[in-house]
A and B are shown apart, each in its own frame.
Chain A
């Protein structure tokens, strides 16, 4: 996405090339000299064994992942897992203790701090607005700090993008929390960032305001903006994110919600018969696709299978052939919350 300088319209770039794992390469060290952005097709974020310690306590440790350009990437984890510290590190506010990273194609290093900050925007959980200044005055300040020429068009464009054009002369102190959050998002749009870091953007918002923020993020995804979304709301991550990472000081898992479900729980089918099967072992044992099964109450069975859609017809045939009345046969759905809880609950050693 790009704001056309001096105009009042948002001009949109086509989405950036999607990242493929084949693009992954080892990142340069932190101490390398000032460097320009790497190839435009490279990932928006490349993090390799990144670690941040405060004394003996690790805020996050050995974290590695990549985020493609134009991707909405969810960063999940319990309180104290290191999410905000990771964002601050990638946002050049904090120096990593070890490891390396590239942000918007630029190696994370002290010399590159300013260059990186020009290409990203960070919206902390608290949008951090000057409450005595008006919405427009807040945006004017940040437009100047980003060195934008003829910023009026961009400010107006950003305000229109978050539907706040009619409140531009209101002091921020008089706005509701939801509206302040939108001002924060408008500010994050000002510099036409390659990567947007949004830390809990819907925290404390009512469902309507949260949905408006979701719509904005969805819109940016369609326009090719890379969004790094830190959130506690699992349904939000499931709805918005192409992929999610689950962090609990160490990275526990990375993938699309669907992949994580499949990886953690595999596929499963829930079979319900009118009455319990006389010999369930024989019935399900005869179906090659069924790895294991367990019996619930009143003729309900949960079958573990590699591919539920492929296995379902064979299972149905086997049940009917056994003379049972098949009441229902459905794929079992695990939510992202199930995935999250499974990973975090089994991670007793890491700080929570």
Chain B
């Protein structure tokens, strides 16, 4: 049973959001990415004439939905990849870990700060594209398809779940990496695989319907939860501070220890258990 102190969790989230607000790189990404991901699909949509074949329309719709889902997948992965190693680099991790904050509060606080703006940005982009298509698109089929209930449901469901995956995997990489840039590159790469699954729906390889959207959503949820469990297990105070896991957790090492010591080692296993 995970015990959470909401005050501590929200304090972490508030701190992260304050830092994001004052970090030009993150602010820039939050502004530039939406512009790109609004303009690019709109250009494609506006190019469609009223008599464009259905297959071409479907391709544009598929690309549009995929682009809409890239934002919640990629944007938080960069933030998450910085989350632990960034703290370690600026020397803030050690003071943080000497407070009573629990592992779950720290991880969820950081995750919340990354997921909320990413999903909001994603929804805003989708809303703007939908609105512009309604107002200005010549091809009514594309407007109808974009406004299709299951398609919208898929967008609404998949965005936070893709973010959840990206943040989990990015945080895991961040906890193990020794270089911020490598962590961010790996984080971005690792955020992409679930997009392949959502692309099946976007490109109507699987015909979009409410059960399909919900089914895929549940699948992503299961993957997210499993990934978060893995990341939580990786988040070990000793490893984060020294780069080495407690010998205790491996139940030995240190060579030449008297037999009587071994039992004590077992007893100190997992200093970070909460």
Instruction: List A residues at the B interface (Cβ < 8 Å).
Output: 29-31, 53-56, 58, 88, 91-99, 109-111, 113-114, 117-118, 120-124, 126-133, 137, 140-142, 144-147, 184, 187
| Cα–Cα, bound, A29→B93 (Å) | 29
Q: Chain A interface: which of B58-66, B143-151, B238-246?
A: B238-246
9 contacts between A and B (CB under 8 A): A31-B267, A92-B237, A94-B241, A94-B271, A95-B270, A120-B98, A137-B18, A146-B100, A147-B8
Instruction: List B residues at the A interface (Cβ < 8 Å).
Output: 5, 7-8, 10-12, 14-15, 18-19, 22-23, 90-102, 237-238, 241-242, 244, 246-249, 253-255, 257, 261, 264-274
Residues of B within 8 A of A127 (CB): 91, 95
Residues of B within 8 A of A120 (CB): 98
When A and B form their complex, which 5 residue pairs have the shortest distance between CB atoms, in order from nearest? A31-B267, A144-B11, A95-B271, A53-B254, A128-B91
Cross-chain contact B102 with A114 (CB below 8 angstroms): yes
The residue in B23, B102, B248 that gathers the most chain A C-beta atoms within 10 A of its C-beta is B248
Sample of 13 further A-B pairs with CB below 8 A, known A55-B255, A93-B237 = A53-B254, A93-B97, A93-B98, A94-B237, A109-B268, A126-B91, A128-B94, A132-B19, A133-B15, A137-B18, A141-B12, A145-B12, A147-B5
Residues of A within 8 A of B12 (CB): 141, 145
User: Which listed residue, A55, A92, A133, A144, touches B271 by the CB 8 Å rule?
Assistant: A92
| Cα–Cα, bound, A137→B100 (Å) | 18
Cross-chain contact A124 with B94 (CB below 8 angstroms): yes
Cross-chain contact A93 with B94 (CB below 8 angstroms): yes
Cross-chain contact B95 with A187 (CB below 8 angstroms): yes
| Cα–Cα, bound, A127→B98 (Å) | 12
Cross-chain contact A95 with B94 (CB below 8 angstroms): no
User: Which listed residue, A91, A110, A132, A140, touches B98 by the CB 8 Å rule?
Assistant: A91
Cross-chain contact A124 with B95 (CB below 8 angstroms): yes
Task: Tell me the minimal C-beta distance from A305 to chain B in angstroms.
Answer: 44
Task: Tell me the minimal C-beta distance from A139 to chain B in angstroms.
Answer: 11
Do A145 and B11 contact each other (CB < 8 Å), given the known contacts A53-B254, A56-B255, A88-B241? Answer: yes
